[in-house]
Every structure is written in structure tokens, then in C-alpha cells.
């Protein structure tokens, strides 16, 4: 790479991660339809700019918590996509030893406190982590990612309240893709929605176009800096769209093709690519990033296919910590 | 381990037949029940069904082969995670997978007492009966099972359709009945149980909720107190963990706390129990949890007829009801009597299979293991009686005790965990009321004492199996 700005170099790195996430999600979908992965897989395709733009402003020691659509958050925070793919395949050397699966991926080594199969439960966990950060006087922040489906859940309101009254270092990231599973969120939401809810607890923040990586990155940078400086909880409300149905079992027939096509015009990867080209980054460079990401995920897929199943004895381990009391 | 598909017999006397045609090709995915091949004799033709889900790994007998002996391996099915390399070229290496038994199960079998203790138990003095409480709670009044008139047409339908019909019939009968839950309306139900209800009854009586289990469970309780008859659907009972506060602290205690002034007629329903490959948070059995709670009635049907008759009864009942359905059973079909108003008694078990040697007690999905085991045991001359509890609270103890007094042995089957499980409760009741009739300790077959693992092989291990039921029965029969 030659003679592009520092910012373009940073954005190119983020584009690489977005491609890894997209390739991972498409491969996960293929693996589900081929029967290698079971349960249900919630793909993050179309929403990549949010995880990547936010996590680019986090340190390895910072915490995140996630939801059922959590693969993108894990990868953006630094989880190994090969281990994650093996986890989806239920293999011994998956991120969680094959015992968690898609909706329970957690990687404590990078501060990823877990995807979560219960809507909004990740928010309470992140606020609890933020409470610990404060009590332990650590220089960390906690970020929780959730969808607009979570904004009508009690635990989220409880999280807002707790985070505010204790002035905790936590960023609430609402990924507004318009649907609470298969139901239009607007149809089942009273009042003015997420931003008003957060504000009613005295929490403010920023609303951004979640498909605009630069906008997400800039807003996250400002908000996280403010949180680190002791400014207390904040929200980031990012409007986006998932290209795929709710999960691999869902036909998605409650959305019109026209709606999907309109949103695909605003694809975050295409927009980031266009911006980089306008900044003088060569097309070959972008193509090679894309190819690298595809090759990485193809290797992950192949590795997962031949990885060993957990030993039967693994069924009985880790039920309790049997080490010495601490 | 790959699974062998054997040449089946069309009749007990058939010794060989022709492999007419392969319907599935090598490498194709098959589900249990899929037709994979056709065989024929000079008398008839028959379809061969896959018994397990997997991939048709290798065809051992090509189509057009004549005079294939019965029980010859004709193909191999690969389970998930296995590839064709697992197959030796001659297919001989693959046997039915050895059942790996967790240590506890083996111990349970080993610890069965020698038969010599039998006579000692028989002659032991009967302990004094516990002193009755000052004021015992009234025994629940159980309505008799309705007569199904001879010649009644039986309609084959899935559990899913039976539940839908039950709700539709009750909503037509009583306009206070309404249903609410996530995706019950426009999406026709997360598992399509509410199919067509929005179209017939409109959005005022078929209400899509936001994702707020805690909130809408409480809202249902308020609506019931204020004179409505809510049916609250949980997308699965796993998500009702958020709502358990309202189910127990609000619904179950209202009548008692108000000194009998206020009723709470509400049905909480949805799929319960382990589902396939959705791991720990989405795959567990709440039978024991809710059947622990005074104030609730807890129903867990197995057949479509019971699902229909008991859901109608639940909607009419003046008490809060926890109605535990099963995701895997939704698609199973059963005969249902075609009657205008088929209502079954809550709190009455059903003898699904009469027998004399041992009593198997199960409900919901547990019935699939119990019935299959009974079938297998019959081949070894063990005649099992299978009781489908249907209602967990109030439990039909009489039917269990009467059966145990006949057989002298009992095994319970459940997908939930053993500690404080429903099986533990059944064993305790048998011990209290039929101790002198027992010829062996009651054994429990259950889900293993771990959260549900995701990996295919571990999940299978964590669930109860037909083999475990058979083993437990043999242990109590000292066979």
C-alpha cells in the first residue's frame, strides 16, 4: 500500500474484518443447509459495519457481550474464526469445546463474555461487568450489542437504570435492523423507541447510519473516549438491515423483495470499498483482501469438517469447577 | 459409527428377496423415515425406510440384485461428523454402535439388590402410617374419561393440528378466551401451532406481543383476574424463565393469597423439553420445575388426542395451568376421535399398553422411549405395562399404585434431570404406598446430570435412550 492516508489504512484493516465476518456467515449458512451445523444460525450479513466500527475502538482488555446474532461481534473483538467454525460444527477444539454452539460462543481471553440465546440478557451481563470494572478501579469499558427486538424487554430497562445510577463504563449498542425476530419492531413498540427509552433514564449518545462504517467508527470513538474519561453510560443507536432472514430456519417471507433490494444498495462493504477507492486505494489491494478472507474461511470450513468430535467423557466435565476454592 | 441398513423381511417366513431399486443415491442426506430403497419378492413389494438421520454413505448391494438374504447389510448410513473414510470397503467393520453408559447408570444397575431380599421385604412389619394432617387438602376431583361411542370416526392429525383445533373450538365456544405471545398472529406461531387463528378471530383475540415474557405473563394474570380467559404462548418454555416469577408468584398464588376471593384462569403453554441440536439454553425439560408448585396444574400430553382433549379442559379450568408441549412431538400424527366436544379429565393417567411384568411410567416425549422399549422387551418375553401420566400435577397416583401392585416393579422415564425430578416423586409415592408389593427398587431413566451439550454425539449421550430403559427394566426384573 502506498501513499494513502492513515485513515484509509485504518479503514482498509476494518474492511478486512468485515469480509472475514461476511465470509464466515455465508459459510455458516452453507454448513447449516448441508447439515454440518444444526440448531439455528443467525447470520450477521449486512450489519458488519457496526461490530467492526465499534470494536476497532476497543482494547483487548475491554469487555463485550452479545446476543443470538453474535458471530460478527466475536470476530470483530478478535476471536479466531477457525475455532468458531469448529464450534458451530460441534467439534472438540471449537471455541467452547463443541458444547456451546452458535448461540453460546464465548472467548474470555479476548474479553468476549458470550453470545446469548435470551434476548437482552447480554445487557445485564455487560452492566454487571461494568460494575466490576468500577469496583476494581480498572481502565476498561464494557460494550453490549443487542437488536431492536430487545428494546421492549424488561432486563434492558433494568440495565439502563442500574448503569446510570452507578455511572458505569458501559456502551449500549442497539443494532436496529427493523425486526424483532420476524415481527416488525415498530408495530409492537410504543413511544418514540430506543433513543427515547435510554434518554428517559438520563443516558444519551448518538444515532448513526449503521451501514456507514466511517460514521460508526467516529461515533464509537467519541462515545468510548467519553466513557473511559468517567462520563458514565452511553448509547449508540445504529440503523441497519440483515440481508438474510432471522435465522437459517426462517423463510423471511414477511419482508418484500423490494425492501431487501433497497437495503442491499446500502451494503456496508460496498460503501466502504467505494470510499477506499475514492481515497486512492488500489482495486487489486481490495480484491486481495477479499480473497484472503475467503481463503481463511474456506480453510476454517475444511478444518471443521475433519476436526474430531468431543470425547464422550467431555459430556460430564465442566459441570462444576472442582478446583480449590478461591 | 456408521449404521448398517439390513435387508428387511416382508413377512416372518421370508428368507430372501430382490433389491428392486435404490431411491436414494450414495452421498444423499436421509432423515429417519425416508424411503431409501424398494425390495420385492414374488408376492409383494415394500419400501425400505432409513431408521436414522445421516448420509447414505455406501450402497453395499446394487439395485437389480436378486435373492438377497434377509438381514444382509444392504447399505451404510453415516451419522453427522462421519465421512465415507470411516467405512471399511467390505462394510464388515460397522456394527450397531455400542451403547456407552455413563457410570451412574451402570452403578444403578449393579446396585439392584439380590432376589434374596425379596422375601425379607415381604415379611417385614408394616411401618405405622403417618399421622394424618389436621386438615388434609381435599383430593382433586377427577372427572371420568368421556366415552367415545363405538363407531366414532378417528381422524389422523398431528399434535400441532390437535392443539390448534382445541384452541379454535374453545375460542368459538367462549369469547373471553384469547391468545397472546410472540409471533402467534401474523407469523402463525413460531412452531405454527396458531395457524389460521388470526384469520378467524382477528387481532384483538390473537395478539402478537413484543419479546417481553416477564411483561406479558404478568399482563395475562391481570387479564385473567379481570374476567378474561387468556392463553399465553411461550415460544418455548426456555424463555418462560423470565416469566416464572409471574407464573408462580402471581398466577399460582392468587387464589390462596386472596383467601379464595380471586381466581386466575389462565393457560401458559408452549414447547418444552429437549429439542434437536439447540444446546443448553434452548433444550431442557421443565416438568419437575412446574410440577413442584402448589396452585398450578401441570399437563404434559403425548398423543394428539390427549393434547386436544386436555388443552380444551385446561382452557375451561378455573386454575392456572402450565401446559407443556413438545417441539419434536408437534409433527407426530395420532388418531383423534371426531367428536364435537372432546374434553379429557385433568389428573387422569392412561394405560397406553397393558402388561404384567413391570410398570413403565412416562409422559410426553418420554413415552416414545417407553413404548419402543416395551416393544423390544416383549421379544424377550418381558411384558411391560406403560402408563402415560398425561397430567403431572395433580398426579394420578392411584393408577401407578394399582399397576405396581400388579407387576411388583417400576421404571420411570423422563428427559429431565434426576435430582428432584418427577421420577423421584413417583418413586417416593410407590415406596410410600406399595412398598410391600415391590420386588426391586424403582429405577429412573432420565436425562444425564449435565446441561445439554451441542455436539451431536454428546447430545445423544445426554438424553435417555431406549437401550437405557431396556437395561433398567432388566435390572428390576433381575434378567
**Terminal Cα-to-Cα distance of chain A (whole angstroms):** 51
pLDDT for A143: 98
pLDDT (0 to 100) of residue B92:
38
Catalytic pick from B182, B213, B425, B468? Answer: B213
Catalytic site residue B282? Answer: yes
Shortest CB distance from B278 goes to which of A40, A152, A180?
A: A40
A150 contacts in chain B (CB < 8 Å): 211
Query: Which pLDDT score, from 0 to 100, does residue B101 have?
Result: 38
Annotation marks residue B376 as catalytic: no
Lowest mean pLDDT among A117-131, A267-281, B167-181: A117-131
User: pLDDT band at B56, cuts 50/70/90?
Assistant: confident
Query: Which residues are CB-contacts of B58 (< 8 A; sequence separation ≥ 6)?
Result: B26, B75, B76, B84, B87, B91
Report CB contact under 8 Å: A104, B279.
yes
Q: What are phi and psi of B121, to 5 degrees?
A: -65, -40
**Which residues in chain B have their CB less than 8 angstroms from residue A116's CB?**
281
Instruction: Specify the pTM.
Output: 0.76
CB contact under 8 A, A309 and B239: no
pLDDT exceeds 50 at position B119:
no
B53 pLDDT band, cuts 50/70/90, is confident
The alpha carbon of residue A101 is apart from the nearest alpha carbon of chain B, in Å, by: 6
How far A192 CA sits from the closest chain B CA (Å)?
A: 15
> Which candidate in B453, B459, B462 is best for mutational testing of the A interface (most A CBs within 10 A)?
B453
> Which domains, and CATH codes, for chain A?
6-308 (3.40.50.970)
Please answer yes or no on whether A117 and B454 come within 8 Å at the CB atom: no
The distance from CA B190 to its chain's CA centroid, rounded to whole angstroms, is: 20
Are B183 and A182 in contact (CB < 8 Å)? yes
Length of chain B: 479
How is residue A267 written as a grid cell?
Answer: 451494503
A39:B278 CB<8 A: yes
Catalytic residue among B214, B282, B292, B332: B282
Closest CA–CA distance from residue A282 to any residue of chain B (Å): 42
| A312 to B458: CB separation less than 8 angstroms, yes or no | yes
Residue of B nearest to A254 (CA): B187
3-state helix, strand, coil in chain B (%, to 5): 30, 20, 45
The C-alpha of A10 sits at a distance from chain B's nearest C-alpha, in angstroms, of 38
pLDDT tens profile A124-170: 989 989 998 998 899 999 999 999 999 999 989 989 999 999 999 99
**Do the chains contact at B279 and A103, CB–CB below 8 Å?**
yes
- pLDDT beyond 80 at B91: no
Do B186 and A183 make contact, defined as CB atoms within 8 angstroms?
yes
CA pair distance A232, A224, nearest whole angstrom: 10
Does the predicted interface ipTM exceed a cut of 0.85?
no
Query: Which whole number is the average pLDDT over B412-433?
Result: 98
CB atoms within 10 A of CB A33: 11
Q: Which chain A residue has its CA at the smallest distance from B455's CA? A: A90
Q: Are B299 and B392 in contact (CB under 8 A)?
A: yes
Q: At residue B97, does pLDDT exceed 80?
A: no
- Alpha-carbon distance B388 to B385, whole Å? 10
User: How far lies A60's CA from each of A20, A72, A78, B290, in Å?
Assistant: 19, 16, 8, 43
Amino acid at each position: 500500500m502506498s501513499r494513502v492516508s492513515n485513515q484509509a489504512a485504518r479503514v482498509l484493516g476494518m474492511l478486512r474484518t468485515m469480509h472475514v465476518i461476511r465470509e464466515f456467515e455465508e459459510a455458516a449458512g452453507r454448513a447449516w443447509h448441508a447439515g454440518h451445523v444444526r440448531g439455528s444460525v443467525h447470520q450477521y450479513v449486512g450489519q458488519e459495519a457496526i461490530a467492526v466500527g465499534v470494536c476497532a475502538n476497543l482494547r483487548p482488555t475491554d469487555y463485550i457481550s452479545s446476543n443470538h446474532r453474535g458471530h460478527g461481534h466475536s470476530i470483530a473483538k478478535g476471536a479466531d474464526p477457525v475455532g468458531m467454525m469448529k464450534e458451530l460444527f460441534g467439534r472438540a477444539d471449537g471455541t467452547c469445546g463443541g458444547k456451546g454452539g452458535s448461540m453460546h460462543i464465548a472467548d474470555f481471553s479476548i474479553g468476549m463474555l458470550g453470545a446469548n440465546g435470551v434476548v437482552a440478557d447480554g445487557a445485564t451481563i455487560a452492566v454487571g461487568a461494568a460494575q466490576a470494572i468500577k469496583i476494581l478501579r480498572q481502565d476498561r469499558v464494557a460494550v453490549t450489542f443487542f437488536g431492536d427486538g430487545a428494546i421492549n424487554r424488561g432486563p434492558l430497562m433494568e440495565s439502563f437504570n442500574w448503569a446510570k445510577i452507578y455511572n458505569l463504563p458501559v456502551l449500549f449498542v442497539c443494532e436496529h435492523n427493523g425486526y424483532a425476530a420476524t415481527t416488525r419492531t415498530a408495530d409492537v413498540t410504543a413511544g418514540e423507541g430506543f433513543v427515547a427509552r435510554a434518554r428517559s433514564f438520563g443516558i444519551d449518545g448518538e444515532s448513526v447510519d449503521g451501514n456507514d462504517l466511517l460514521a460508526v467508527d467516529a461515533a464509537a470513538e467519541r462515545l468510548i473516549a467519553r466513557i473511559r474519561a468517567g462520563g458514565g453510560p452511553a448509547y449508540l443507536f445504529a440503523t441497519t438491515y440483515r440481508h438474510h432472514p432471522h435465522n437459517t430456519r426462517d423463510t423471511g417471507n414477511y419482508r418484500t423483495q423490494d425492501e431487501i433490494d433497497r437495503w442491499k444498495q446500502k451494503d456496508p462493504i460496498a460503501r466502504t470499498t467505494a470510499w477506499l477507492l475514492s481515497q486512492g486505494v488500489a482495486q487489486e489491494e481490495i480484491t486481495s483482501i477479499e480473497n484472503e478472507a475467503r481463503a481463511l474461511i474456506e480453510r476454517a470450513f475444511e478444518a471443521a469438517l475433519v476436526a474430531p468430535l468431543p470425547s464422550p467423557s467431555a459430556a460430564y466435565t465442566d459441570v462444576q469447577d472442582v478446583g480449590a476454592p478461591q | 459409527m456408521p449404521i448398517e441398513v439390513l435387508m428387511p423381511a416382508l413377512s416372518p417366513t421370508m428368507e430372501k428377496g430382490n433389491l428392486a431399486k435404490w431411491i436414494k443415491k450414495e452421498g444423499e442426506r436421509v432423515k429417519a423415515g425416508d424411503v431409501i430403497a424398494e425390495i420385492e419378492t414374488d408376492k409383494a413389494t415394500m419400501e425400505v425406510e432409513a431408521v436414522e438421520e445421516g448420509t447414505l454413505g455406501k450402497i453395499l448391494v446394487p439395485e437389480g440384485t436378486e435373492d438377497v438374504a434377509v438381514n444382509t447389510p444392504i447399505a451404510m448410513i453415516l451419522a453427522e461428523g462421519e465421512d465415507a473414510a470411516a467405512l471399511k470397503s467390505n462394510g464388515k467393520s460397522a456394527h450397531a454402535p455400542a451403547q456407552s453408559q455413563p457410570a451412574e447408570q451402570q452403578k444403578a444397575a449393579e446396585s439392584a439388590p439380590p432376589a434374596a431380599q425379596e422375601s425379607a421385604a415381604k415379611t417385614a412389619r408394616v411401618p405405622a402410617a403417618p399421622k394424618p394432617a389436621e386438615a388434609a387438602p381435599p383430593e382433586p376431583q377427577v372427572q371420568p374419561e368421556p366415552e367415545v361411542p363405538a363407531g366414532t370416526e378417528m381422524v389422523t392429525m398431528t399434535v400441532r393440528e390437535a392443539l390448534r383445533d382445541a384452541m379454535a373450538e374453545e375460542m368459538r365456544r367462549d369469547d373471553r378466551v384469547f391468545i397472546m405471545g410472540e409471533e402467534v398472529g401474523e407469523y402463525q406461531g413460531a412452531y405454527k401451532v396458531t395457524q389460521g387463528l388470526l384469520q378467524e378471530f382477528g387481532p384483538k383475540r390473537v395478539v402478537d406481543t413484543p419479546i417481553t415474557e416477564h411483561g406479558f405473563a404478568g399482563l395475562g394474570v391481570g387479564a385473567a383476574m379481570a374476567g378474561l380467559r387468556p392463553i399465553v404462548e411461550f415460544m418455548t418454555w426456555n424463555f418462560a424463565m423470565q416469566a416464572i416469577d409471574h407464573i408462580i408468584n402471581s398466577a399460582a398464588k392468587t387464589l390462596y393469597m386472596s383467601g379464595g376471593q380471586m381466581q386466575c384462569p389462565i393457560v401458559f403453554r408452549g414447547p418444552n423439553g429437549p429439542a434437536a441440536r439447540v444446546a443448553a439454553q434452548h433444550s431442557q425439560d421443565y416438568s419437575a420445575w412446574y410440577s413442584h408448585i402448589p396452585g398450578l396444574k401441570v399437563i404434559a400430553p403425548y398423543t394428539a388426542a390427549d393434547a386436544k382433549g386436555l388443552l380444551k379442559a385446561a382452557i375451561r379450568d378455573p386454575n392456572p395451568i402450565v401446559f407443556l408441549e413438545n417441539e419434536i412431538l408437534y409433527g407426530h400424527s395420532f388418531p383423534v376421535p371426531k367428536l364435537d366436544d372432546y374434553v379429557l379429565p385433568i389428573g387422569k393417567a392412561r394405560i397406553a399398553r397393558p402388561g404384567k411384568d413391570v410398570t413403565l411410567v412416562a409422559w410426553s416425549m418420554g413415552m416414545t422411549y417407553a413404548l419402543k422399549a416395551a416393544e423390544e422387551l416383549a421379544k424377550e418375553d418381558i411384558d411391560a405395562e406403560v402408563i402415560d401420566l398425561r397430567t403431572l400435577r395433580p398426579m394420578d397416583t392411584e393408577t401407578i399404585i394399582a399397576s405396581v401392585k400388579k407387576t411388583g416393579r417400576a421404571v420411570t422415564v423422563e428427559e429431565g434431570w434426576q435430582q428432584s425430578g418427577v421420577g423421584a416423586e413417583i418413586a417416593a409415592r410407590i415406596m410410600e404406598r406399595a412398598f410391600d408389593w415391590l420386588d426391586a427398587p424403582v429405577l429412573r431413566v432420565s436425562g444425564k446430570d449435565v446441561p445439554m451439550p451441542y455436539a451431536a454425539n454428546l447430545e445423544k449421550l445426554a438424553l435417555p435412550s431406549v437401550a437405557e430403559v431396556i437395561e433398567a427394566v432388566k435390572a428390576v426384573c433381575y434378567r
